[in-house]
Amino acid sequence: MKLTRFRTPSGTVRVGIVEEDGIHVLNDVTDCLDLMASGHGTLAEAAEVFGTSGTVLSPNEVEYLSPIATPPTLRDFYAFEQHVRAGRAWRGLEMDPEWYRIPVFYFSNPYAATGCGDVPIAPGSEAFDFELEVGAVLGGHGKDVSPSEAESLIAGFCVLNDWSARDLQKREMQLSMGPVKGKDTATSLGPWLVTPDELAAYKQGHGYKLRMRCEVNGRTYSDALWSDVYWSFAEMISYASRGTEVRPGDVFGSGTCGTGCINELSRTHGAEAYPFLKAGDTVTASIEGLGTLTNRIVASPVPTPLREGTV
């Protein structure tokens, strides 16, 4: 099943099932988290219990929102080796053996979850970037779960675009903190939440043999395969659950795929060939089977200095 959370032209927010003939609106559901918290089993089972209203909308007349308005938590991992290796290579570093031992992650900002539409440049940034990732959303809860138990907790997958202010990120991480402000302006999720059974035929390695692509103003920047991922979502969730709970609605990002951001491409092929984003740019992120997120970059207000001599 493909579920989507959307806003109608009249401003109403609803959840619906994506079918070939359009979006079938569910009764009394405004957030996919409502389905997960209903106690009616899987997303598909919960959707069946709520039922549809009979209204079918065209995909062209709605605005796609994040499947969950405010995820309880949002963890972002670092699971594609090509991206990690490229990042270390331009700094003259070999791969750290620890990367092959633990699936590292950071916590991002749940309040900044968004879908399609405008994305503001992080205030004060002149090096704004996209990051093409897969998102997994939990439908169950657990603590100290094994990878096999963790896999059964996944309610669905979606496209995830982790917007990043590279200049802010660099300043923070030089102080042994972060990423913090460099990452919390927006995280795009959607346009659909796709249940795992829809993708079962494509399962390969630690992911799925599905193409990941990103374009800027119609020009292809990123082209990768989800199946190239080193750490599986089951392993990421299992690691995250050590000594703590994971709960329905928690979002897990795979980390950037190979070629999946301007920072990697510009350092590999030159900044002139791959400049950072500016207001007016259109970024289109897509993953086979999971749909397409389209975002327009817009300007942000100039940040107010904290005190004299600060940024």
Given a cut of 90, is residue 43 above it in pLDDT? Answer: yes
pLDDT digits (tens, 9 = 90+) for 269-310: 999 999 999 999 999 999 999 999 999 999 999 999 999 888
The SS3 assignment for 131 reads strand
Q: Alpha carbon 112 to chain centroid distance?
A: 11
- pTM over 0.85? The answer is yes
Average pLDDT estimate for 162-188: 93
Report the pLDDT value the prediction gives residue 307, as an integer from 0 to 100. 92
Cβ count near 92 (within 10 Å) = 6
Average pLDDT for 124-151 = 98
- Average pLDDT of the chain is 96
Q: Which residues make Cβ contacts (< 8 Å) with residue 151, sequence separation at least 6? A: 232, 233, 234, 237
Amino acid making up residue 6? F
Specify the length of the chain in residues.
311
User: Average pLDDT of 158-179?
Assistant: 94
- Find how far residue 93's CA is from the centre of its chain: 28
- The helix/strand/coil state of 41 is coil
The closest of 159, 130, 163, 166 to 259, measured between CA atoms, is 130
pLDDT tier at 99, thresholds 50, 70, 90: very high
Token reading at 214: 């990103």
Half-sphere exposure of 7 (CA within 13 A, CB side): 12
pLDDT tens column, 179-198: 889 999 999 999 999 999 99
CB atoms within 10 A of CB 181: 19
The CB density around residue 2, as the number of other CB atoms within 10 Å, is: 20
Going by C-alpha positions, the residue among 57, 177, 183, 80 that lies closest to residue 122 is 183
Residue 91 has a pLDDT of 83
Average pLDDT over residues 115-136: 98
End-to-end CA distance of the chain: 47
Which band of pLDDT confidence, cut at 50, 70 and 90, is reported for residue 241?
very high
Q: At what angle do helices 81-89 and 262-269 cross, to 10 degrees?
A: 50
